[in-house]
Structure 1
Amino acid sequence: MTKTARIDPADLSRRPLVVVPGFMSDSRVWETQVRLLSRYLPVTVAPVTGGGRVEDVALALLDDLPRCFTVIGTGLGGAIAMAMLQRAPERIAGIGLIATSPLAETPAKAAEREPWIIRARTGRLRGVMQEVFPSATLAPGPRRGQIMAEIADMADDLGTELFVEQSRMLQRRSDQQATLRRADQPGLVICGVHDKIIPARRQLFTAELMRHARIEILEDAGHLPLMEQPERVSQILCDWLLPRVEVEELRQTG
């Protein structure tokens, strides 16, 4: 395995950025962040498809991505980001994880997905998504209903076959604790206090695994900080990715 040189956080501003959506979501969850960050960095939204395992998707993406880049993933996208880090650490300038766990799926959780897969294949995907992603895992507030509707719309657009494919990815994903312990890159972990899918304490543990990680805990967010607190997440990412002068400029022009 190629040894990774220590990368100063300020160097991230000179690297392309790759963002990876989570389970049954697409570029819409990254809309606010991409709109801001693309003023300063080349930004690619990576598709989460093309294999029955997280590692398959990671390898396929690495074939098409720049030689060196920063990757930020949310949920399932975080698992893919960690798989890219495991496979090609010398190509990863920095890694950001949002609402993500490095742990493998438990047998009980993997078994819980089987009835969801069966029901989704019978045309009940929208109802299944309400169980996979209950509203209680978002922070309370007036936007909760709107976000839940947007999640259901994305799932409808992406379709049942992708639901099955991504469910299998989650069931089979590998434990990545050792990958994070070895990482010498700048790291960022963003978690919402109200996240019931990946509880905040588990995400704190994720940050503790990395040598150079920064943790941001959002009081008014749950499992989807990107959509629940888009401006706050955008500012966190700008502070992490961009030199101070660019951040100040962004604050003045945003």
Structure 2
Amino acid sequence: MVEPLVLLPGLMCDARVWTTQLTVMSYERPVTVAPVCTGDRLEEIASGLLSSLPSKFALCGHGMGGCIALELARRAPDRVIRLALLGTNALMDTPQEAADREPRMIGAKAGRFEQLLEADLLPRYVGQGPRRAQAMTDLQEMALSLGPDIYARQERAMQRRRDQQATLRKITQPVLILAGAEDQVVPLKRQEFVAELIPYAKLSVLENTGHMTMLEEPEGVTEALFDWMRQPLVLR
């Protein structure tokens, strides 16, 4: 039986961020983009998703979507048959990281969301590769579509997320950790640490790519996901 694939977008993103993967991977399996804007806490979002997702599925999350994917794996390890984490920070915010979110949330809700995007968020989220300009445009369009209220709610949910190190150590499914070498949001060293904690994780790094790997290197992401989907379910 072909495994259904569930994709979870990250902060400020919707289904458009997965356009290439949806187009290519849906030729051979059901592919779904699940919503990540449906609650104030990651646990609430994960709980809502479990009632609507298939009984068993492959799960791929980016950024905030990766954090929700880990919560799904923690709650229902028997349903998540393989896991891919793209640009995902499995640790809770440090005090400084939590504090840094506050002015962004305040600015967004005070009517400065567009300025915040252009001056701070977009430059940090996208690397210096050849698709930088288009990736920034695509990300800006998605962020503006979602709006400042959803952005602030997502930032608050990320600020309150739990530390998932214990979850990582218990994962025995095939796991892909896919990182952009220039990721400023979740630095490569943080993602390498996540890979080290998972018994059977494979770490892949996309060069000249920042946090928005699906927009900056869509072919590389798709190829890595195809390889991950081909891994045998029994790894030991």
- The alpha-carbon deviation at position 137 of structure 1 amounts to 4.5
Q: What one-letter code is carried by the residue in structure 1 that aligns with 2:62?
A: T
Quick check: 1:172 aligned with 2:160?
yes
Q: 2:226 aligns with which of 208, 215, 238?
A: 238
What SS does the aligned partner of 1:133 have? Answer: helix
Distance in 2 between the 1:231 and 1:216 partners? Answer: 14
- After TM superposition, the structure 1 stretch with the greater mean CA deviation from structure 2, 217-226 or 106-115, is 106-115
What SS does the aligned partner of 1:216 have? Answer: strand
| Aligned counterparts, 1:1-254, within 5 A | 14-242=2-230
- The alpha-carbon deviation at position 154 of structure 1 amounts to 0.8
- Give identity over the alignment, percent: 43
Distance in 2 between the 1:132 and 1:177 partners? Answer: 29
2:64–2:158 Cα contact (<8 Å) kept: yes
Q: What one-letter code is carried by the residue in structure 1 that aligns with 2:103?
A: P
**TM-score computed with the length of structure 1 as normaliser:** 0.87
Distance in 1 between the 2:158 and 2:222 partners? Answer: 27
Structure 2, unpaired ranges of 5+: none
Distance in 1 between the 2:106 and 2:124 partners? Answer: 24
1:188–1:213 Cα contact (<8 Å) kept: yes
- The alpha-carbon deviation at position 211 of structure 1 amounts to 1.0
Structure 1, unpaired ranges of 5+: 1-12, 245-254
What SS does the aligned partner of 2:49 have? Answer: helix
Alpha-carbon displacement from aligned partner over 1:44-69 (angstroms, at most 9, x marks no partner): 10111121111110110011000111
- The alpha-carbon deviation at position 122 of structure 1 amounts to 2.2
Alpha-carbon displacement from aligned partner over 1:154-191 (angstroms, at most 9, x marks no partner): 11101122112101111100000110100111100000
Distance in 2 between the 1:68 and 1:191 partners? Answer: 26
Instruction: Point out the structure with max Rg over C-alpha.
Output: 1
**TM-score computed with the length of structure 2 as normaliser:** 0.93
- The alpha-carbon deviation at position 138 of structure 1 amounts to 2.8
Moved over 3 A (4+): none
What SS does the aligned partner of 2:37 have? Answer: coil
